[in-house]
Structure 1
Amino acid sequence: MDGPLYEQIYNYLYEKIKSGELPTGSRVPSEKELATQFGVSRITSKKALEILASDHLIERVQGKGSFVAEHMPDRKEKESENKSSQQQWKVIGLILPDFADSYGLRLIQGVEERSSELGGRMMMKLTYDKREEEEAAIRSFHQIGVDGLIIFPVHGEHYSPEFLRLVLDKYPLVFVDRYLKGLAACSVYTDNRSASYDITKYLIDRGHTKIGFISLPAENTSTIEDRILGYTEALIMHGQQLNPQHLMTNLFSSVPRSFEERNVQVDFENVKTFVELNPDLTAFVVAEYNLALILREVLLSLGKKIPEECSIVCFDSPRSPFHKYLFTHVRQDEFEMGRQAVELLQKQWDSQEVPFHNTVPYSIIKGDSTL
């Protein structure tokens, strides 16, 4: 059988009802029984039963179970009605840690615009980079009955077991911003390895031979891991010495809700110590915009002139008139990322094969932080 697993269960039970194998008034297998029979989660079997109930094919009695309805609608008429409704009202659940004008806002706009163009609707939940919030969001969207999920995973060493359940259930799903190693799931993201290579080479081409790297902990997060790889490859390919002491990957104030005075001050002191211990560094590749802000303040506090004495490049930098200082940066096409994520969901709804790895373009934007 083709199509989503909940649909397969729906069709299986419908045929049993239609053939009389499940006559009027008879008990329908429970969520648990169907989950065991089909090897799926109870979320999936529950959705199949809920759709059967909404189509008036079964009646669900709390505490007793589900039973074949006495009066059933015409199947062809119901299918036509459902098809028309689904085409107009596909609902997408968007789950992401947080958003800002530096990164995330345009991603949301891309998802919303393409959803609307395809006749769908978008619902959004923020997780604030907490795994328990992410898992709760997935469960709540399942209960609501969204047709597909677009997820920006939380930062961390291990991914949620909910992700594996979604993949095993063949639930329409797209990850954005990163891919998850070992998980056969559709993702759309920037080629961070290539982008980091190019932005590091940008500094090398301008004569820098001592270049540092500053980021969050990698923690098995493909985005950060690939940016570190791109940085190291650029140095090696251009005959630069790779010094592990020039890498700082223990900051955290760009994590959602952590860019607060106390946390920023901790990272400020750590970055200041890093810069003071590496006085030979004349340029820095920074993985996140907020961390680039901290580095800039550190360098200025030490009397360093930017960009005359030290250069900074980073990923993403707001292009609003309210942000007068623009870092030289990798500009990710997050708007296209959002649009492409919706299109990949549409292909899954249409039972088309989708590639697991999909990348969007990026560009290097010259700013005030480099010569």
Structure 2
Amino acid sequence: MDGSTKRTPLYSQVRDYVLDQIRTGKWREGRRLPSENQLCKQFDVSRITIRSAMAKLVEEGIVYRVQGRGSYIGKYTGEKEPIRYASPPRESDGPLLIALIVPKLRGLLMTRLAEGVEAGLDSSRYRILMLTTDYSQSREDERLKEAIKAGAQGIIIYPSDGQTYNEGMLRLTLDRYPIVVIDRYLRGVETNCVCSDHYTGAYEATEHLLRLGHRRIAFVSPPCAGTTSLEERLEGYRQALNDYGVIFDKTRVLEQKDSEAIEAFLNEQSDLTALFAANEEIGLASIRAAEKGGRSVPGQLSVIFFDDYDHSSDARIPPTCVAQQGEQIGNEAAKRILSLIENPLQNRAMIRIPTKLIVRNSTLSISDLIEEHDFDNSPA
């Protein structure tokens, strides 16, 4: 040997380049690496060299691979080297995971939803990994990362309300990871989505009140802006009024869910004869607020709301409601995620599931209302 310095192997040069991009902050956790072809051109090397470099990076936990989608930067610990997400299970005959991420596993809709997903996966190799977010976007982001680390092959998620999806969900969507969104979608972002027909459900709820003769009808909801499910319910309410010749009045719309705000609203709107609530929580709060203010339901105020709940027919006032078909939503979401796992590049789809109007005892004909209480229900 002549004692000269050994030449750095080409695959090590590629590895060092990737590490340098991470250490300088140019490439962050979850970033997809350039394709093999791009790296071949950049370093003027063969595909075998690039694959050797990628294999070394994966072995060291710097990079993780997602079959059919490419290589990604792992999570950086700030100490030695980045660590990767756990690899998907390799057993040829063992179960694989689909993550189901929901705000809470509570209430009729959520439990039926989970049952529908489970039924949809039953004949496959996939089983549910259940995670909850408590309606927090930061917790939602954590749960997405946990699902990936656990080796989930796909994710079904009921996102938190708001005008944006969290960054992790957007990245997964754009990178064609198999992900299906339930309940709502983000305008301008193509997403695989399975949701109720919120517009038609709200239209039918409002139409039910209109057919009973009501004209002074309020709409109470959490803030609607940015949450398409709520926006569509508001639009269904508005359109039904319009079709029945009732002028839409913004003062009859309350976008708050606080009990005190609902009480104050009902006190101010003393001439209301009916109220449509965007969800079960607000519907029940509205009934309590009305009765606290001395107005009986349905005798002095008819109330209808979105979502049913367990044993509602046995309630003191069995509610008229718009029921979402949670089991069917979950089943369709499961079918969609299995299809995406097989072919992640297929066109994205929006699947809408019809709602069901259930008439019970919380609504009353205006003729009975007027006869009993002598209200003037002429349009404002």
- For Structure 1 versus Structure 2, the TM-score category normalised by the shorter chain is 0.7 to 0.9
Query: Which of the pair has more CA radius of gyration?
Result: 2
**What are the within-5 Å matches in structure 2 for residues 57-68 of structure 1?**
63=81
Deviations 1:25-67 (A, max 9, x none): 87736369979xxxx896x4659xxxxxxxxxxxxxx85999x
Tell me how far apart the structure 2 counterparts of residues 202 and 101 of structure 1 sit (CA, whole Å). Answer: 25
- The letter for the 2-side match of 1:328 is T
Tell me by how many angstroms 1:305 deviates: 2.2
Distance 1:122 1:281, change over 3 A: same
Cα–Cα, structure 1 residues 143 and 82, in superposed 2: closer, same or farther, change >3 Å?
closer
* 1:331 aligned partner: 323
Task: Tell me, yes or no, if the aligned pair for 1:179 and 1:188 is still in contact at 8 Å.
Answer: no
Structure 2 counterpart of 1:307, from 298, 306, 320: 298
Q: Does 1:116 align with 2:116?
A: no
Task: Give the SS at the match of 1:21.
Answer: helix
Answer whether contact 2:283 2:303 (CA < 8 A) is retained: yes
Contact map agreement 2:63 2:83 (CA 8 A) in 1:
no
What fraction of aligned residue pairs are identical, expressed as a percent? 26
Structure 1 partner of 2:57: 30
The whole-number CA distance in structure 2 between the counterparts of 1:301 and 1:295 is 10
**Structure 1 residue runs without a partner (length 5+):** 14-18, 48-61, 67-80, 252-266
Give distance in 2, aligned partners of 1:215 and 1:234.
Answer: 17
What is the rounded CA distance, in whole Å, between the counterparts of 1:365 and 1:26 in structure 2?
A: 61
Mapped to 1, the partners of 2:239 and 2:81 lie a distance apart of: 61
Among 348, 360, 363, the alignment partner of 2:356 is 363
Q: Please report how far the alpha carbon of residue 302 of structure 1 lies from its aligned counterpart in structure 2 after TM superposition.
A: 2.1
| Aligned counterpart for 2:337 among listed residues 345, 349, 358 | 345
* Amino acid in the other structure paired with 1:344: R
- Structure 2 length as normaliser, TM-score? 0.73
SS at match of 1:103: helix
1:279 to partner: Cα distance: 1.3
1:150 is matched with which residue: 156, 172, 178? 156
CA displacement 1:4-45 (0-9 Å, x = unmatched): x99x989x99xxxxx99359987736369979xxxx896x46
Question: AA paired with 1:28?
Answer: A
Contact 1:22 1:28 in 2 (8 A): no
Taking structure 1 as the reference length, what is the TM-score of the superposition? 0.75
Q: Distance in 1 between matches of 2:351 and 2:185?
A: 9
Q: How does 1:285-304 map to 2 (within 5 A)?
A: 285-304=276-295
Where structure 2 has 5 or more consecutive residues not aligned to the other structure, the ranges are 1-30, 40-45, 365-380
Alignment of 1:77-88 (within 5 A): 84-85=92-93
Q: Give the aligned length.
A: 311
Render the CA deviation track for 1:278-321: whole Å, top value 9, x for unaligned: 11110000011111111111111222222122100001121427
Match of residue 279 from structure 1: 270
CA distance in 2, matches of 1:327, 1:24: 62
Q: SS where residue 48 of structure 2 aligns? A: coil
CA distance in 2, matches of 1:116, 1:350: 17
Q: Distance in 2 between matches of 1:366 and 1:64?
A: 57
Q: Secondary structure at the match of 1:226?
A: helix
Partner of 1:225: 231
CA contact (8 A) 1:344 1:354 kept: no
Task: Provide the rounded CA distance (Å) in 2 between the counterparts of 1:330 and 1:169.
Answer: 36
Q: Partner residue of 1:194?
A: 200
Cα displacement (A) at 1:362: 1.2
CA distance in 2, matches of 1:91, 1:194: 34
Maintained 8 Å contact 2:113/2:328: yes
Structure 2 counterpart of 1:342, one-letter code: A
Q: Quick one: which of 122, 142, 147 aligns to 1:141?
A: 147
Instruction: Provide the C-alpha distance between the structure 2 equivalents of 1:332 and 1:364, rounded to a whole number of angstroms.
Output: 9
Task: Name the CA distance, whole Å, in 2 between partners of 1:200 and 1:211.
Answer: 8
The more displaced of 90-99 and 147-156 is 90-99
Q: CA separation in 1, counterparts of 2:312 and 2:319?
A: 14
Moved more, 319-328 or 124-133: 319-328
- 1:104 offset after TM fit, Å? 1.0
Helix, strand or coil at the partner of 2:281: helix
Contact 1:91 1:120 in 2 (8 A): yes
Partner Cα separation in structure 1 for residue 50 and residue 348 of structure 2: 43
1:241 aligns with 2:247: yes
Q: Distance in 2 between matches of 1:191 and 1:118?
A: 28
**Residue number in structure 2 paired with 1:173:** 179
Q: Secondary structure at the match of 1:104?
A: helix
**Residue 29 to residue 132, structure 1, CA distance change in 2 (3 Å):** same
